[in-house]
Structure formats: structure tokens, C-alpha cells
């Protein structure tokens, strides 16, 4: 992955040095931060391709950094570094949108394999769409809400945001239910009931004030799946 840049946020100096050396030896450029405050500042402001994030940090913990990062930069790949036995933290990190985790102590070979795997998958991630103009209002994905011209508002869940973002990044075509399960839910669609996608679409249409009998935002393409109607970023 020559030319890629990795941000390493890790307070243990020896571990951080080992990560930096291994990544640089493999051809990565590296930015590093030693505590939560510096890590959040770098995560929000620096230009990089992947974040390696320790969860237990001084000043500000890794989950807080991940939560803020996912609001501002929702498509950026993240691997969390976690101590053995902290299963709840790993689960919470994945729930907040981390792509993978590595348990300490870990081998350099395992870490680099996971970094390569996440970066290979990252082109499949939906582009960083932040706002969508819809009839009578705007979807503000960064703020996780729909705002209507009459002052009404609807809150969006993380799954609804991911679904809208994926449809927007593939707006030139219909997206099948199987593809949505694979790319948005990150599940193998074989043998799964795709009605869960239909139910999420129905709830999302309700929040968008999109008439299911005559939809103007999320279109049903018979025999193919769903497509986002022609939208444009708000001016």
C-alpha cells in the first residue's frame, strides 16, 4: 500500500514506535499522536487513509474519538486496538463504525494483514455524502437529521444514514436488496430474508415524507431493487 498514510493514536510509546516502524518499513507514511486530545485533533484535521486507534487513552478515550470522527468523516477506515478481555469495548467500537479490531498483544504480520484488508475494502465504501436535497427539505447526514422547509425535523439512525449514503453514491443505477445487505449491513445475503431491507426503506420513506405509492426520493425498480431519485447537493 505504498503512498497510503496511516494515523496512529496510541499512548504506549513502545507500542506506538513499533507500529510506526512496521508501517513505514512496509511503505506507509505515518502520523502519530500520544493521547486522546492530540488524537482527536489529528483525526479531524489531518489528511490520511486509515486510523489505528487505541481505545484506552489519557485525556480522551478512543470511543469518544471514534464517535466524533464518524459524525464528521463517516467513510474513513478505522481499526481499533484493544486489550485482551475488553470485549464490551470491542463491541461498542464496531457498533460505532470501526471496520476491524486487533487485540493486544498482536503480531506485526496480523496487524499489517488487517490494514491491507481494510484498505482494499475501502473503495467499496460509500462516498462521503453529507447533504442531499429532497422535495420540501434537505437530508443532513452529518447532523443525522432531515429538515423540512416548514420547520419539521426527523432524526436518522446510523443504518438509515448508511443506506442513504450508499444509494446516493450509486445514484446512476438500481441497487439490489442483496447488494444492500452486503454493502450496508456487511452481511452475506445468501439465505437471508431481504424483507429487512424493505422494512428499513419503508421507515426511511416515512421520515423523508416520501409517499410509498408515488415515491419521489427512494424509487422501487421492479425486479432490480431501489434507486435514489435524481438529487443535488443543497446550494
| Per-residue pLDDT tens over the stretch 15-74 | 999 999 999 999 999 999 999 999 999 998 888 889 999 998 999 999 999 988 877 777
Start-to-end Cα distance in the chain: 37
ω into 203 cis (within 30 of 0): no
- The arrangement of strands across the sheet holding 100-104 comes to 29-33, 5-9, 50-54, 78-83, 100-104
Q: Strand pairing partners for 96?
A: none
Gap between the Cα atoms of 105 and 108, Å rounded? 10
What percent of the chain shows pLDDT beyond 70? Answer: 92
Check residues 91 and 229 and name the one with the higher pLDDT: 229
* Residue reference for cell 482527536: 40
Gap between the Cα atoms of 132 and 129, Å rounded? 8
Q: Report residue 77 as a C-alpha cell.
A: 477506515
Count of alpha carbons within 13 Å of 54, Cβ hemisphere only? 26
- How confident is the model over 194-213, as a mean pLDDT? 92
| pTM as predicted | 0.56
What is residue 173's predicted lDDT score, i.e. its pLDDT? 87
Reported confidence tier of residue 234, pLDDT bands at 50, 70, 90: very low
β-strand pairing of 29-33 with 131-134: unpaired
Q: Report residue 81 as a C-alpha cell.
A: 486496538
Give the total residue count for the chain: 235
Tally of CB atoms within 10 A around 179: 17
pLDDT at 223 over 80: yes
What is residue 2's predicted lDDT score, i.e. its pLDDT? 61
Coil, helix or strand at residue 103: strand
pLDDT at 172 over 80: no
> Mean pLDDT for the chain?
86
Sign of the dihedral defined by the CA atoms of residues 15, 17, 19, 21, in that order: negative
**Continuous segment of H or E residues that includes residue 138:** strand 137-140
**Continuous segment of H or E residues that includes residue 226:** strand 225-228
> Which fold would CATH assign to domain 131-228?
Arc Repressor Mutant, subunit A (1.10.10)
pLDDT at 148 over 60: yes
Check residues 121 and 124 and name the one with the higher pLDDT: 121
Q: Do domains 5-123 and 131-228 have the same CATH topology?
A: no
What is residue 232's predicted lDDT score, i.e. its pLDDT? 52
Domain boundary assignment for the chain: 5-123, 131-228
β-strand pairing of 137-140 with 78-83: unpaired
Q: Report residue 49 as a C-alpha cell.
A: 487513509
- How confident is the model over 181-206, as a mean pLDDT? 84
pLDDT per position as a tens digit, 69-116: 877 777 788 999 988 666 777 788 887 878 888 888 888 899 999 898
Burial of 185 (0-12, 13-18, 19+ CB in 10 A): middle
pLDDT at 235 over 50: no
CATH tag for 5-123 (out of 3.30.70.1290, 3.30.830.10, 3.40.50.2300, 3.30.450.20): 3.40.50.2300
Amino acid at each position: 500500500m505504498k503512498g497510503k498514510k496511516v494515523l496512529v493514536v496510541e499512548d504506549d510509546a513502545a507500542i506506538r514506535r513499533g507500529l510506526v516502524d512496521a508501517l513505514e518499513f512496509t511503505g506507509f507514511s505515518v502520523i502519530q499522536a500520544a493521547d486522546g486530545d492530540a488524537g482527536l485533533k489529528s483525526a479531524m484535521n489531518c489528511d490520511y487513509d486509515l486510523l489505528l486507534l487505541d481505545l484506552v487513552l489519557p485525556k480522551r478515550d478512543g470511543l469518544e474519538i471514534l464517535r466524533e470522527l464518524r459524525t464528521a468523516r463517516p467513510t474513513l477506515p478505522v481499526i481499533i486496538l484493544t486489550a485482551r478481555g475488553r470485549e464490551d469495548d470491542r463491541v461498542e467500537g464496531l457498533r460505532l463504525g470501526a471496520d476491524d479490531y486487533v487485540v493486544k498483544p498482536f503480531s506485526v504480520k496480523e496487524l499489517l494483514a488487517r490494514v491491507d484488508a481494510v484498505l482494499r475494502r475501502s473503495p467499496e465504501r460509500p462516498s462521503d455524502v453529507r447533504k442531499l436535497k429532497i422535495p420540501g427539505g434537505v437530508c443532513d447526514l452529518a447532523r443525522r437529521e432531515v429538515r423540512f422547509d416548514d420547520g419539521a425535523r426527523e432524526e436518522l439512525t446510523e443504518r438509515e444514514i448508511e443506506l442513504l449514503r450508499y444509494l446516493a453514491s450509486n445514484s446512476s443505477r438500481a441497487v439490489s436488496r442483496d447488494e444492500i445487505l452486503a454493502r450496508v449491513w456487511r452481511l452475506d445475503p445468501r439465505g437471508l430474508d431481504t424483507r429487512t431491507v424493505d422494512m428499513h426503506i419503508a421507515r426511511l420513506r416515512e421520515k423523508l415524507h416520501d409517499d410509498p405509492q408515488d415515491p419521489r426520493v427512494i424509487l422501487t425498480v421492479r425486479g432490480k431493487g431501489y434507486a435514489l431519485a435524481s438529487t443535488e447537493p443543497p446550494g
